[in-house]
Structure 1
Amino acid sequence: MPRSPRSRPISALTACAGALAYTVSKVDLARDGELGMPGFPAPPEAYAQVTDVTAAQLGNAGLGLLMAVVALLLVRPPAARWLRRSVAGVSWLGIAMVGAGVIGFGARAAGVAPGLGERPPHMATAVAALVVGALWVAGWSVATAGVMRGARTTPPTSATSTTRAARTR
């Protein structure tokens, strides 16, 4: 079944919103001097490994902004093939990283991976963070797949058609 022409931009904007939610959460945690994720506080021993909690969380917020920009590039993919492929490659890497985080934190919340930390003390906040993460991954995946599919099916431009016609003469 063909996808709506709006599905990729909507998915890309969903991914961008997920990245911005992550960014805002990291700025909030930096302001409070806390490690972890919303609903998933870091264990006390983690603070011994981080010399500057605020800088670490602001660095994560910066990464979130970068992921938001990459997601925005999927709304109207770059025309240059190398740049479009680079955006898709970075997107798949980001999808893998965020997806692994959602799976890991989901396992922690379910209590099936005690090595990842205690179950969250505020389950509603943890579930909300997991839902945002899952929507982020889903939107980013759909948008990236759409860009890759669109690159294979995009008809040649008139300049390309003219060049091809000249070569076949």
Structure 2
Amino acid sequence: MTAAAGAVAYSVSKVDLAFRGELGMPGFPAPRAAYDSYEPFSGQLSNAAMGVLLVLLILALARLPTNRWARRALLIGNGVAVTVIGLGVAGFAVRATGAVPWLGAPADGAAAWIALAVGALWTVAWSVAIRRAARSRSASAVEAG
């Protein structure tokens, strides 16, 4: 449930940014030039919708399909998604330190560090949920076989 809560937090933050007309992440404002290419409201609502899809993908781990290929597809889909999110969190963590200036401005206040902590907790909890789901099904398959 912690992993799903992380996806919910992501979605809520994106809805908040949409209604404020801002691009970026909490504590990590997008450069002004980004506003020339992207419309904040619809862009952030699209991100929020993606977060809702991630909630569903994560919750599906609680009840894996019995079909082997469907189960593998769900586990692989979760693995790819958590990797992408984890890389995003890592990128923002590097940006937060200011060590790589071309990534953008360093962390701007407590919101950035809270967003990073939530992102890190989300990816770790999600990785654990995937591993547990994979093990629970393989243990059941061994017992049944």
> TM class by shorter-chain length?
over 0.9
Aligned to 1:101: 88
- The unaligned stretches of length 5 or more in structure 2 are none
* Selected match of 2:12 from 20, 24, 32: 24
User: Take 1:113 and 1:15, find their aligned partners in 2: how far apart are those partners?
Assistant: 29
> TM-score when scaled to structure 1?
0.81
**Alignment partner for residue 127 of structure 2, among 133, 141, 161?**
141
Distance in 2, matches of 1:27 and 1:72, equals: 21
Q: Following TM superposition, where does structure 1 have runs of at least 4 consecutive aligned residues deviating by more than 6 angstroms?
A: none
SS of the residue corresponding to residue 128 of structure 2 reads helix
Q: Could you list the per-position Cα deviations for residues 80-128 of structure 1 after superposition, in whole angstroms to 9, with x for gaps in the alignment?
A: 2222211111111111111011110000111111111011221x11110
What does the per-residue CA deviation read over 1:139-164, in whole Å, with 9 as the maximum and x for residues that have no partner?
110111112222222121xxxx6xxx
Instruction: Measure, in 2, the Cα distance between the counterparts of 1:44 and 1:120.
Output: 16
The equivalent residue for 1:79 is 66
Computing the radius of gyration over CA atoms, which structure comes out larger, 1 or 2? 1
Give the AA of the match of 1:42. A
Normalised by the length of structure 2, the TM-score is 0.93
The answer to whether 1:120 aligns with 2:127 is no
Deviations along 1:21-46, one digit per CA (max 9) or x if unpaired, are: 00000000011110000111101111
The answer on whether the counterparts of 1:41 and 1:120 sit within 8 Å (CA) in structure 2 is no
State whether residues 70 and 91 of structure 1, in contact with CA within 8 Å, keep that contact through their aligned partners in structure 2: yes
Paired with 2:52 and 2:103, the residues of 1 have a C-alpha distance of 26
Q: Distance in 1 between matches of 2:70 and 2:118?
A: 28
Instruction: Kindly report the root-mean-square deviation, in angstroms, between the aligned alpha carbons of the 2 structures.
Output: 1.2
Unaligned ranges ≥5, structure 1: 1-12, 162-169
For this pair of structures, how many residues does the alignment match? 143
Q: Is the 8 A contact 2:98 2:106 kept in 1?
A: yes
> Residue 33 of structure 1 aligns with which residue?
21
Shift of 1:57: 0.6
Q: How high is the sequence identity, in percent, across the aligned residues?
A: 46
